[in-house]
Amino acid sequence: MKRLSKEEKAKQKRAVRRVQRAIKRALLRETKARRRGKRLLEKQKKDSRFFASRKFVLPETVCITTKAHRRSLLDLLHKIRSAALDGRISSVYIDFSKIKMLHPSGTILLLAELERLMECDMSRRKLIPNYPEDEVVEQLFQHVGLLERFGLENRIEKVDHESVVNWMYASGTEGDFDAVAELLPSVLIEGANTELRLAVTTGMAEAIANSSEHAYVLPRNDGNPSPVNMKWWAFAREKDGIFWVVICDLGAGIPRTLRRTWPEEAEQFLMRLAGKKSKDHSLIELALKLGRTRTEEGSRGKGLKDILKVVKNSKVGVMEIHSNNGIFGFDGELGKRFAKSHKKSIGGTIVQWSIPVEEFNRIHRHEDE
């Protein structure tokens, strides 16, 4: 490896200092903006002449994997959040009645965003939901405790639909994998494919620990004055021969935290762009390649990278990471990566992967040798 000269080392240090100063200035601007917003909300609350109500109807399909569905859901979540935090609005009606299809990544984002609003005293008092008309949707909302958190009575005596009961749901504020480990399917404990079992469990632990270690090191800038709990949400299920995992946090997102977690590497990457604007999907891919966390622990930061490696080498399953405006993923069966950056941000990170259950019981040739 080529040793850097003194001049190159000095140049590198100056670059790191520039990034650090930029982050400091950004944090100062965000603090001032929050203070101005808080003063404005307090002023608006005193003026009862502006009090009004708003109603928002959730789309038939709750999903972020297609462009149209993603835009529809994110637009609505933004409007709900803005209304709930607007001092001039007294009631925010959330209409679940039209929902017919719940996709894992879109559903976990919806749950997380609504829980985030429930943490704020002002917005919690305004939110008024109704029941879904679709029974399966209602079962799912009852299964994850959403209706109860809104103060709605659980109307279904027994949640028994096969597309609902197979889902394991958990959330927490600590980066502790033990909180969900005992709820996971037995295939993660008993499967003969040790490499795959280890990669999946390590990847889940990594995504959960991410929320307490660096997902929330920067403000989210969502206008919500309540403190951001270092929270994560997780789905997992084994059904129809496929094992699914979805993990979400509402932190600053990989593209933003990358510049703080890996300032030297991020600076070098941005310098290589030669003035071109960086895309979020490129920064997500860079984070996977780096494969280490700000804790500098050798055993950490490799979980998601290991899952990507298994999907590639085994040529099965799909892994995708949504973070802020970007999405990066790999389809093992097709042997293709896919990456894209959108105009709207999800305001956090969602990691999702699916792997055939039979792979957990398959011992690959190199494991026998």
Going from the N-terminus, what domains does the chain have, and what CATH number goes with each? 50-151 (3.30.750), 168-369 (3.30.565.10)
Q: Which residue has the higher pLDDT, 230 or 62?
A: 62
Average pLDDT on 45-51 reads 56
Identify residue 169 by its one-letter amino acid code.
Answer: Y
Average pLDDT on 270-284 reads 73
pLDDT at 321 over 90: yes
Q: How confident is the model at residue 112 (pLDDT cuts 50, 70, 90)?
A: very high
pLDDT at 326 over 90: yes
- Smallest CA-to-CA distance from 140 within 166, 115, 114, 179 is with 166
pTM: 0.79
Residue 96 in tokens? 């679940």
| Predicted local distance difference test score (pLDDT) of residue 349 | 93
| Predicted local distance difference test score (pLDDT) of residue 297 | 47
Q: What is the dihedral of CA 134, 165, 65, 311, to 10 degrees?
A: -160
Angle at which helices 263-272 and 254-261 cross, to 10°: 110
Average pLDDT over the chain, rounded to an integer: 82
Out of 174-178, 220-224, 267-271, give the one with best mean pLDDT: 220-224
pLDDT at 334 over 90: yes
| Predicted local distance difference test score (pLDDT) of residue 291 | 64
| Predicted local distance difference test score (pLDDT) of residue 89 | 92
**Segment 5-34, tens digit of pLDDT:** 777 777 777 777 777 787 788 788 878 877
pLDDT at 295 over 60: no
Q: Which residue has the higher pLDDT, 353 or 133?
A: 133
Residues in the chain, how many? 369
Average pLDDT on 224-250 reads 83
- Smallest CA-to-CA distance from 110 within 151, 84, 85, 78 is with 78
pLDDT at 189 over 70: no
- Smallest CA-to-CA distance from 70 within 79, 80, 61 is with 61
Q: Which residue has the higher pLDDT, 162 or 305?
A: 162
C-alpha distance from residue 290 to each of 40, 168, 202 (Å):
42, 31, 17
pLDDT at 39 over 90: no
| Predicted local distance difference test score (pLDDT) of residue 26 | 76
Q: Which residue has the higher pLDDT, 81 or 199?
A: 81
**Segment 122-180, tens digit of pLDDT:** 898 999 999 999 999 999 999 999 999 999 999 999 999 988 988 888 888 766 666 66
Worst-scoring range by mean pLDDT, 77-81, 219-223, 242-246? Answer: 219-223
DSSP one-letter code for 225: -
Out of 193-197, 209-213, 266-270, 331-335, give the one with best mean pLDDT: 331-335
C-alpha distance from residue 271 to each of 11, 15, 20, 112 (Å):
12, 10, 16, 35
| Predicted local distance difference test score (pLDDT) of residue 42 | 72
Average pLDDT on 296-325 reads 76
pLDDT at 304 over 70: yes
Residue 300's φ and ψ, nearest 5 degrees, are -110, 160
Going by C-beta distance under 8 Å and a sequence separation of 6 or more, which residues neighbour residue 112?
Answer: 231, 233, 248, 249, 250, 348
